[in-house]
């Protein structure tokens, strides 16, 4: 990967894990860019003057609603993306799902809880395997090694 020194944008990405070690995936609408009609995590652009933590909380509220009960586990970042030439700075957040109601906004058409065994069946956005690997949620054998940078293999 050739890295560009300039960061074009920063993003907060949140991985929600339930008691069954499943992750919450959201199906992006046909108009979403990048990743139209693909599965991904709640995520969004960090606005000027906004902390990554505030962005993650805002995006969760916007994308899956306010009737959630979560427990913070950890965060990781910043890290440069490996799928888009290193132009994006990524902050990852890992939460335990304790309950609630998922209310999708217009950016998504569906949601599902996915086990590590089911993961390979999903058409996911670029970078999803990498996000899971950075947070060390599932063993690498359940991730696509062709989608991981060398330092995560």
Q: Which domains does the chain have, with CATH numbers?
A: 9-148 (3.90.79.10)
Contact, 57 vs 13, CB < 8 A? no
Q: Which uninterrupted H or E stretch holds 27?
A: strand 23-28
Nearest to 13 by CA among 65, 60, 49, 51: 60
How far lies 72's CA from each of 35, 106, 109, in Å? 27, 26, 26
CA–CA gap between residue 64 and residue 104 (Å, rounded): 5
Question: What pTM value is reported for the model?
Answer: 0.93
Phi, psi of 99 (to 5 degrees): 140, 170
Mean pLDDT by 10 residues, the chain (153 residues): 72 98 97 92 97 98 97 97 90 98 96 98 96 97 94 89
């Amino acid at each position: 990967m050739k890295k560009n020194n300039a960061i074009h944008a920063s993003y907060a990405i949140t991985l929600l894990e339930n008691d069954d070690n499943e992750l919450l995936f959201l199906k992006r609408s046909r108009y979403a860019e990048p990743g139209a009609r693909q599965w991904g995590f709640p995520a969004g652009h960090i606005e000027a003057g906004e902390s990554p933590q505030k962005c993650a909380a805002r995006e969760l509220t916007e994308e899956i609603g306010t009737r959630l009960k979560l427990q913070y586990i950890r965060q990781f970042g910043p890290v440069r993306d490996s799928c888009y030439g290193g132009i994006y700075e990524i902050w990852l957040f890992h939460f335990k799902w304790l309950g609630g109601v998922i209310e999708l906004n217009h950016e998504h058409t569906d949601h599902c809880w996915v086990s590590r065994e089911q993961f390979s069946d999903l058409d996911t956005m670029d970078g999803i395997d990498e996000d899971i690997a950075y947070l060390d949620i599932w063993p690498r054998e359940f991730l696509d090694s062709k989608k991981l940078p060398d330092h995560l293999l």
